[in-house]
Amino acid sequence: MAVNRSFEILDVTLRDGSHAMRHSFTEKQVAETARGLDKAGVSYFEVSHGDGLGGSSLQYGFSKVNELKLIEAASSICSHAKVSVLLIPGIGIKDDLQDAVKAGAKMVRVATHVTEADVAAQHISLGRELGLKTVGFLMMAHMAPTAKIVEQAKLFESYGAEIIYVTDSAGYMLPHDVTERIKALKENVSCEIGFHGHNNLSMAMANTIAAVEAGATYIDGSLRALGAGSGNTQTEVMVGVFERLGYSTGINLYDILDVANDVVAPFMQRPQEITGSSLILGYSGVYSSFLLHTQSAAKKFKVDERDILVELGKMKAIGGQEDLIFDVAQRLALNV
């Protein structure tokens, strides 16, 4: 017998998947995916450039279609599901969030490096003022000890965040790492707790189960695992697995399978799988969205992309430091 529903599955196909799609989503693709997610019973799904509002740029990659048009295409078609957006302070600004709300956004996830929650105060405050479900998103959570994560989570809570996420941006964590962090947050903050995983070490599903069992009430997934690196925890698989575990997800398994297989699979540029390079992302603790940039740099400078990723891991590179990828590749090419 299924237990009462105790968590929300938030789908990130149309945001994290933007990385794998080289930010080329069309309004039709977004609308059809949104329609399927809405029909299946998903409560929230995210639509943004892969690097969040304002991410369309030379450094992060230009979007094929303005993200406000994509947000509007998604929100206008839903009768139940609500659109979330990602905002990384310094990439996106407050005006971007206000524009996203006009386009139909109902949730904002304000993302910072795991030790830099203090840069998000004004953005979280604005999210609450705009009536959004407001989330603090601690990226690269493997890079800080649990005590530091608790400290940063308390900052998010003091700014007004309603949910705080442990984000395994590199797909580096193992289940015991997730359990420790989620439990610590549950014991030290009053917010709801979320978990966002990547599958670079094939741990995304196991880590997501660990998060729920430790008390997470929001968990992320993407259809067909479409996302940066080797992708995220696979949404349709989560629905099946958690129902097997006795949870009621509130999502129709057949309907979520249909949108994954009939809508998302046909527009994917490549299957999501664990390649040698994406495995090195997880092994070295490198930001998952670095993968395609690294492949481009490796090709340009004729060096092994795995060597670039290992060096980036040693440097503890974080999101926003994509310029380091080409610096490392050039140094490797010159044997410096």
**φ, ψ of residue 46 in degrees (nearest 5):** -105, 135
Biggest alpha carbon distance in the chain?
Answer: 62
* Number of neighbours of residue 3 by Cβ within 10 angstroms: 10
74: which 2 tokens? 């998604």
C-alpha span between 250 and 39 (Å, rounded): 11
C-alpha span between 192 and 20 (Å, rounded): 29
At position 38, the amino acid (one-letter code) is D
**Tokens 């993968």 belong to residue:** 291
Is-contact 140 196, C-beta < 8 A?
no
C-alpha span between 276 and 195 (Å, rounded): 25
Is 169 labelled as part of a ligand binding site? yes
C-alpha span between 286 and 139 (Å, rounded): 11
C-alpha span between 143 and 336 (Å, rounded): 27
- 167 forms beta bridges with 196
| Distances in whole angstroms, Cα of residue 146 to Cα of each of 45, 182, 304, 319 | 28, 9, 34, 20
Catalytic residues: 19
| Distances in whole angstroms, Cα of residue 144 to Cα of each of 220, 253, 272 | 21, 36, 28
C-alpha span between 265 and 33 (Å, rounded): 11
Which residues are known binding-site members? Answer: 15-16, 169, 196, 198, 287
Which residues are known binding-site members for Mn(2+)? Answer: 16, 196, 198
